Homo-oligomer: A and B are copies of this chain.
Amino acid sequence: VTRTAALVPAAGRGERLGPGAPKALRELGGAPLLVHAVRALAAATAVDLVVVAAPAGSTAEVAALLAGEPAAPRPAAPVRVVAGGETRQASVAAALAAVDDDVDVVLVHDAARPLAPSALADAVVAAVRAGHPAVVPGLPVVDTVKRVDGTGRVLATVPRADLRAVQTPQGFRADVLRRAHAAAAASPGAPATDDAGLVEALGLPVHVVPGHEEALKVTRPLDLVLAAALLARRAGAGPA
């Protein structure tokens, strides 16, 4: 039975990485970021189906890219590719519309977090199945954080002990994520920066579980250097 689906919005451009391929298709260690991300989700014990939202004109290409994936260490979950939307939120909604009715838990994962371990997806799903309607992985904030005004003057140092830098995959009861997206679509405003934010807007509780350092987001060119070093370390050939 298909009970847990992982959604991957991958229709965005990622301008901060500079001109070139769409962000999800940037290469890391010989494979696009999206392939790394989907491979880890499909290998997670808790994931039964992966749905990728690709750029509307590129669904066949993206499906071909993902088709050749090896099914080790266990038969990997099947991958479906659908057309995404104009925004990240629209792409998640499109992927959500493509999951079967018997799916009761949904993960949403950034293609730009290629090295999030399968075990992180499993831990998030477990926390949802333990009773939390919405779960996000998060790490403590290690840098001192200050709030500034428009001129660059510091207004305050932000207490950071209770801050968490949140990552993906985020996990949801399927009905909760559907309600959150329906409500967001009905009230156009500033888009939330993550799916949990849409659930918070409904007034429902969101729970944080420990994140993983390797689930970093590849946003800037520097991040690709860091991700490559981590990938090399996994292969037992780290630069250190």
Interface residues of A (CB under 8 A from B): 136, 138, 141-149, 152-158, 160, 162-167, 192-194, 196-197, 200, 205-209, 213-214, 217, 219-220, 222, 224-226, 228-230, 232-233, 238-240
Contact at A145–B166, with CB atoms within 8 Å?
yes
In this complex, the member of A165, A167, A238 whose beta carbon has the largest number of chain B beta carbons within 10 angstroms is A165
Looking at the complex, which one of B143, B157, B222 makes contact with A213 (CB distance below 8 Å)?
A: B222
Contact at B144–A163, with CB atoms within 8 Å?
no
Q: List 22 A-B contacts (CB under 8 A).
A: A141-B145, A142-B217, A143-B165, A143-B167, A144-B165, A144-B193, A145-B163, A145-B165, A146-B164, A146-B166, A146-B206, A148-B163, A153-B206, A154-B196, A154-B200, A156-B200, A157-B197, A213-B222, A222-B230, A226-B229, A228-B229, A228-B238
CA distance A207 to B136 in the complex (A): 34
Q: How far is the CB of A20 from chain B (nearest CB, A)?
A: 14
CA distance A197 to B146 in the complex (A): 9
In this complex, the member of A193, A194, A229 whose beta carbon has the largest number of chain B beta carbons within 10 angstroms is A229
Q: A146-B164, A147-B162, A197-B157 are in contact. Are A230 and B240 (CB under 8 A)?
A: no
The residues of B that contact A153 with a CB separation of less than 8 Å are: 205-208
Looking at the complex, which one of B162, B164, B224 makes contact with A240 (CB distance below 8 Å)?
A: B224
Looking at the complex, which one of B143, B200, B206, B239 makes contact with A232 (CB distance below 8 Å)?
A: B239
The residues of B that contact A229 with a CB separation of less than 8 Å are: 225-226, 228-229, 239
Query: Considering the complex of A and B, which 6 residue pairs feature the smallest CB-CB distances, nearest first?
Result: A229-B229, A143-B165, A228-B240, A154-B206, A213-B222, A144-B193
Contact at B239–A157, with CB atoms within 8 Å?
no
The residues of B that contact A149 with a CB separation of less than 8 Å are: 162
Q: How far is the CB of A145 from chain B (nearest CB, A)?
A: 6
CA distance A146 to B208 in the complex (A): 9
The residues of B that contact A141 with a CB separation of less than 8 Å are: 145, 165
